[in-house]
C-alpha cells in the first residue's frame, strides 16, 4: 500500500510541475516532448496503481475515446485523475492531477 501511495504521489508531482505535460521543447535535445518515449505506459500503471476505469474521460480533459483513456485513483480522501493518450501505438501517461473526489459520486 505504501508503495502505491508513493508511486501515485510521484506521478502526480511529475505531471503537475510546470515543465511536464505540455508540448514545449525539451532543451536537452530540441525535440518536441511528444516525440519522446512514454514516461509511463498503461500496462505498467495497470499493475502498479490501484484505480477505477472510467467509461470516458471527463469533458474537461478533452480526450475522446479514440484518443485515449482516463483512470481514477483514490487514496484516503484524495482522488487523482490519470490521462493516457495514444502515442506511437502505446497508451502513454499524458497527465496526472488531483481532482475533487465529490466530482465522481452521483447524487
DSSP per-residue string spanning 8-77: HHHHHHHHHSTTSSS-PBPTTT--BGGGSPPSSBHHHHHHHS--EE-SS--GGG---TTTEEEEEEEETT
Q: Do the domain assignments include residue 27?
A: no
Q: Do the domain assignments include residue 48?
A: yes
Q: What is the pLDDT of residue 107?
A: 62
Matching residue, cell 516532448: 33
Q: Do the domain assignments include residue 29?
A: no
Q: Do the domain assignments include residue 75?
A: yes
Where does residue 3 rank: exposed (0-12), middle (13-18), buried (19+ CB within 10 A)? exposed
Low-confidence ranges of the chain (pLDDT < 70): 1-36, 107
Q: Do the domain assignments include residue 79?
A: yes
Which domain, by its residues, includes 15? Answer: 2-19+42-104
Query: From edge to edge, which strands make up the β-sheet containing 68-75?
Result: 52-53, 68-75, 78-87, 90-99
Q: Do the domain assignments include residue 86?
A: yes
Alpha-carbon Rg for the chain in angstroms:
14
Number of domains in the chain: 1
Q: Do the domain assignments include residue 12?
A: yes
Strand partners, 82: 71, 96
C-alpha cell at 94: 499524458
Q: Do the domain assignments include residue 26?
A: no
Amino acid at each position: 500500500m505504501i508503495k502505491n501511495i508513493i508511486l501515485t504521489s510521484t506521478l502526480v508531482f511529475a505531471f503537475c510541475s510546470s515543465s511536464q505535460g505540455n508540448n514545449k521543447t525539451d532543451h536537452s535535445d530540441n525535440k518536441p516532448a511528444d516525440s519522446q518515449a512514454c514516461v509511463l505506459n498503461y500496462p505498467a500503471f495497470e499493475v502498479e496503481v490501484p484505480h477505477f476505469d472510467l467509461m470516458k474521460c471527463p469533458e474537461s480533459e478533452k480526450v475522446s475515446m479514440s484518443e485515449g483513456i482516463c483512470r481514477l485513483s483514490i487514496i484516503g480522501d484524495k482522488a487523482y485523475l490519470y490521462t493516457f493518450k495514444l502515442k506511437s501505438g502505446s497508451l502513454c501517461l499524458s497527465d496526472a492531477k488531483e481532482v475533487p473526489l465529490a466530482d465522481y459520486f452521483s447524487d
